[in-house]
Amino acid sequence: MSVTSVPGFVAAGTACGVKVSGADDLAMVATADGTPVTAAGVFTSNRMTAPPVLVCRDHLSASGGRAAAVILNSGNANAATGATGRVDAETMCALTAEAVGCAPHEVLVCSTGWIGYPLPMDRIAPAIPTVVAALDADGGPAAAVAMMTTDKVPKTTVVTGSTTAGGAFTVGGVAKGAAMLEPNMATMLAVLTTDAEVDPATATDLLRDAVGVSFNCLTVDGAESTNDTVLLLASGTAGPVDTADLGIALSDACRDLAVQMADDAEGSTKTVFLTVTGAATDAEAAKGARDTANCQLVKCSWYGEDPYWGRIAAEMGAAGITFDPDTITITYGEQVVYAEGRACDVDEQALAAHMAGRRLDLGVDLGQGDGTAWIVTTDLSHAYIDENMRTS
């Protein structure tokens, strides 16, 4: 049920001492024979881009979209570490390449954890041969565990589809986040594998589209990390596939991981699915959905299980998008709470039952056009503050 559910891929997780707790903090996903395969990545747009992200971009460019392995550490983000950070990320790739038997630019690297501290390379470097030696066809779940920071549970997925020839292809994935870590930075990392045949350019396009309808529709606190990375390795051993079919499988895998992230977000007691319809454009729907999902006031009311639609309406109004207060309709679960410019009579018991659930479904129809957006987010709880008010 992870990256190693795909034939031809191996993975491992181990502890190398980056985390003072002694928990696993070094993970690898690789091809079983060390052969480079099609590789694609989608990265954070944060200007404080962490060195491992810069190295991934360079390596994908130098290799023409090929990679044999991904090395990941948790506990330290290797971010805001300047030239030293760059050297450390390159060293992690070089040591991995040596042990796996590929070129250094055929290795990708991810880090997640504290910002602003150099990596403890004296602990990471000697552990790289160890994690390579531990690579196993059942190692995906161990890799998912070693990626974790404040995650309470590891996140894995597997999705299947049909190849052009009528056979099966598989997409597997491991991920961590999207909540703060250590407990200070929202970083999401995901590594996907597939045996579908796809060229690097198409893989990149499909991965970007899949991220657009999944991880980019997830917001916990509006904070975009310096390290956010989604990688795909595609071996092609299952043969050719219809591009659309692979796109659907990748989107399904990414959406599954994104919802797992929301369910496990720091301090979260509610996973909230917010759908905006009837916007003038998709972009306006997305703006309204994202601003509302990131509004502290709205998040507090979800935590309090309070169906106070006034906040939703006010936040939509503040989003700078087109609508008329008299044409907006707001729905909590099955209950229409606001329509035609006024509060509606509701089944109070049914509404309270919906608000008390672990997952909330909210709908806003703006009554303007065909623009739609979907977002998954979380509430804002005392526990979120507890986890984030101090770094030590």
Report 293-312 residues binding a copy of itself (CB under 8 A). 294-297, 300-301, 303-306, 308-311
Q: Does 202 bind a copy of itself (CB under 8 A)?
A: no
Shortest distance in whole angstroms from residue 8 CB to a copy of itself: 37
Number of residues that bind a copy of itself (CB under 8 A): 67
Report in angstroms the alpha-carbon separations of 285 from 37, 76, 370, 371: 38, 36, 9, 6
Site string for a copy of itself, 27-46 (x = CB under 8 A): ------------------xx
Instruction: Report the candidate in 203, 215, 375 with the shortest Cα–Cα distance to residue 299.
Output: 375
Residue type (1 letter), 142: A
Residue of 44, 157, 187, 331 marked catalytic: 187
Of 90, 106, 264, 315, the one binding a copy of itself (CB under 8 A) is: 315
In the complex with a copy of itself, the residue whose CB is nearer, 170 or 294, is: 294
Instruction: Classify the C-alpha dihedral 182-70-65-249 as positive or negative.
Output: negative
DSSP state of 338: E
Q: Does 23 bind a copy of itself (CB under 8 A)?
A: no
Instruction: Classify the C-alpha dihedral 154-156-139-91 as positive or negative.
Output: negative
Shortest distance in whole angstroms from residue 76 CB to a copy of itself: 11
Residue type (1 letter), 117: Y
In angstroms, the first-to-last Cα distance of the chain is 35
Of 153, 212, 352, 391, the one binding a copy of itself (CB under 8 A) is: 391
* Number of Cβ atoms within 10 Å of the Cβ of 317: 13
In the complex with a copy of itself, the residue whose CB is nearer, 126 or 325, is: 325
Shortest distance in whole angstroms from residue 42 CB to a copy of itself: 16
165 cis-preceded (ω within 30 degrees of 0) = no
Helices (H), the chain: 51-63, 82-100, 121-133, 140-146, 200-212, 243-263, 282-293, 296-303, 309-318, 348-355, 382-388
Q: Does 390 bind a copy of itself (CB under 8 A)?
A: yes
| Cβ pair 268, 381 in contact under 8 A | yes
What is the Cα–Cα distance from 273 to 354, expressed in whole angstroms? 13
Say whether 38 is catalytic.
Answer: no
Q: Does 280 bind a copy of itself (CB under 8 A)?
A: no
Q: Does 373 bind a copy of itself (CB under 8 A)?
A: no
Q: What angle do CA 380, 263, 192 make, to 5 degrees?
A: 130
By CB under 8 A, which span of 66-74, 92-100, 145-153, 217-225 interacts with a copy of itself? 217-225
Shortest distance in whole angstroms from residue 344 CB to a copy of itself: 10
Q: Does 137 bind a copy of itself (CB under 8 A)?
A: no
Shortest distance in whole angstroms from residue 115 CB to a copy of itself: 3
Site string for a copy of itself, 47-66 (x = CB under 8 A): xxx-----------------
What is the Cα–Cα distance from 80 to 344, expressed in whole angstroms? 51
In the complex with a copy of itself, the residue whose CB is nearer, 189 or 380, is: 380
Report 320-339 residues binding a copy of itself (CB under 8 A). 320-323, 325-326, 328, 338
| Cβ pair 135, 225 in contact under 8 A | no
What is the Cα–Cα distance from 167 to 240, expressed in whole angstroms? 10
Report 171-200 residues binding a copy of itself (CB under 8 A). 180, 184-186
Q: Does 343 bind a copy of itself (CB under 8 A)?
A: yes
Binding site for a copy of itself (CB under 8 A): 45-49, 79-84, 114-117, 180, 184-186, 221-226, 294-297, 300-301, 303-306, 308-311, 313-323, 325-326, 328, 338, 340-343, 380-382, 384-385, 388-391
Which amino acids are annotated catalytic?
Answer: 187
